[in-house]
Amino acid sequence: MNYIKQAKKKLVFTILLTIFVIISMFVDLCVGASNMPVCKVLWALFKDTGMKHDIIWMLRLPRVVTASIVGFGLGLAGSIFQVVLRNPLASPFTLGIGSAAGFGAVCAIIFLGGSNNIFQITIGAFLCSLMSAFLMIAIAKIKQASAETMILSGIALTFLFSSLTSLLQYMGTMEQVHEIVFWFFGNLSRPGWREIACASLMIFFPFPMFLKYAWNFNVLVHGDETAKTLGVEPEKLRINSIIAASLITAGSICFTGVIGFIGLVAPHITRMIIGSDHQFLIPSSGLIGAMILVIADILSRTLFSPQIIPIGIVTSFIGVPFFLFLLLKKTREYW
């Protein structure tokens, strides 16, 4: 009876969180260099009003939708990485996947001249992020896919791809280095509707699988031995989850560049509010990730308007204090 009561509260929290995300998206839609009141934004959103309609549908709305989808994907992937590796500091960017995506983008810029072709950069980032995930899984498979092995292999791959990226930057021209640095800052204005559709497919396709195995994740938190006694196969669950979460990560950052700390911060905020029941933790982590990135986008466009701060810089300013808080606090109090 107590569980049902708690579940209802968590469901209400998830619904309210969804409403807050929608509100923050609308606020973000109203922010821009061309000052438009709320009524005109609504009118331009549903009626063809010439230039205002184009500003909303071609410039602002794709950026807002990108922020919400990418934030959702990073928060979702972070929650999966943390539970399957049983490590509160696990995230897409602490396991080598983000570094590998950056290396793939740099390869496209240096060797394919992809600075003016977003799809070349995207394909390079996507393929290298999946390659990093498969390398980590292959190493872990040899060592029976333990969480510790995956974490250590992820750290090793992070340093490997970071070093390779630095080497290619050293070899590149001034124009190429400028494009590389710009990609690593993160940019929500690159994707159009076609890119948004592609990213959405990669992010939301694995989502039902995670909800299906929510109970298995709850059991996995208590250790591999406990999971085995309750009929869960930890190695298989861990490998399948890592592959799916890597796909989500690749879909989240391959069009936008590096956007850090969302995958680390969002699951912890969610866990501190509603606990570790993954039936609610998984979707709520995605929603909080979406809300954080949308709010970060609002800040990036308003703090030094009309100058737009790269979104990766804003999320780092949000994430670093929270990361230090996690290091100083006993994480087992809410883990």
Q: Is the pLDDT of residue 280 over 70?
A: yes
Q: Is the pLDDT of residue 109 over 90?
A: no
Q: Is the pLDDT of residue 261 over 90?
A: no
Provide the pLDDT for residue 72: 95
- The pLDDT-based confidence of 119 (bands split at 50, 70, 90) is confident
SS (H, E, C) the chain: CHHHHHHHHHHHHHHHHHHHHHHHHHHHHHCCCCCCCHHHHHHHHHCCCCHHHHHHHHHHHHHHHHHHHHHHHHHHHHHHHHHHHCCCCCCCCCCCHHHHHHHHHHHHHHHCCHHHCHHHHHHHHHHHHHHHHHHHHHHHHHCCCCHHHHHHHHHHHHHHHHHHHHHHHHHCCHHHHHHHHHHHHCCCCCCCHHHHHHHHHHHHCCHHHHHHCHHHHHHHCCCHHHHHHCCCCHHHHHHHHHHHHHHHHHHHHCCCCCCCCHHHHHHHHHHHHHCCCHHHHHHHHHHHHHHHHHHHHHHHHHCCCCCCCCHHHHHHHHHHHHHHHHHHCCHHHCC
- The pLDDT-based confidence of 284 (bands split at 50, 70, 90) is very high
Residue 119 vs residue 129, higher pLDDT: 129
Provide the pLDDT for residue 1: 56
Tens digits of residue pLDDT in 127-176: 888 888 888 778 777 766 566 777 777 888 888 888 888 888 888 788 88
pLDDT mean over 44-62: 79
Q: Which residues contact 271 (CB under 8 A, 6 or more apart)?
A: 281, 334, 335
Residue 18 vs residue 227, higher pLDDT: 18
Provide the pLDDT for residue 292: 92
- The pLDDT-based confidence of 291 (bands split at 50, 70, 90) is very high
For the ranges 220-224, 254-258, 288-292, 323-327, the one whose mean pLDDT is highest: 288-292
Q: Is the pLDDT of residue 320 over 80?
A: no
User: How far is residue 106's CA from residue 272's CA, in Å, rounded to a whole number?
Assistant: 37
Q: Is the pLDDT of residue 4 over 80?
A: no
Opening angle at CA 287, ends 184 and 191, nearest 5: 40
Query: How many other β-carbons are positioned within 10 Å of the β-carbon of residue 14?
Result: 17
pLDDT mean over 245-269: 85
Tens digits of residue pLDDT in 221-255: 887 788 888 888 888 888 888 888 888 888 888 78
Opening angle at CA 275, ends 273 and 278, nearest 5: 120
User: How far is residue 187's CA from residue 136's CA, in Å, rounded to a whole number?
Assistant: 28
Residue 262 vs residue 43, higher pLDDT: 262
Q: Is the pLDDT of residue 331 over 60?
A: no
Q: Is the pLDDT of residue 114 over 60?
A: no
Q: Is the pLDDT of residue 54 over 90?
A: no
- The pLDDT-based confidence of 290 (bands split at 50, 70, 90) is very high
User: How far is residue 270's CA from residue 273's CA, in Å, rounded to a whole number?
Assistant: 5
For the ranges 189-203, 255-269, 284-298, 308-322, the one whose mean pLDDT is highest: 284-298
Q: Which range, of 74-88, 233-247, 314-328, averages the lowest pLDDT?
A: 314-328
Residue 292 vs residue 242, higher pLDDT: 292
Q: Is the pLDDT of residue 333 over 60?
A: no
Provide the pLDDT for residue 144: 64
User: How far is residue 216's CA from residue 227's CA, in Å, rounded to a whole number?
Assistant: 8
> Domain extents for the chain?
13-333
- The pLDDT-based confidence of 115 (bands split at 50, 70, 90) is low
Pick the CATH number of 13-333 from 1.10.3470.10, 1.20.120.550, 2.60.120.560, 2.40.160.20: 1.10.3470.10
Interhelix angle 278-302/262-274, nearest 10 degrees: 130
Provide the pLDDT for residue 254: 79
Q: What is the CA radius of gyration of the chain?
A: 20
Provide the pLDDT for residue 286: 93
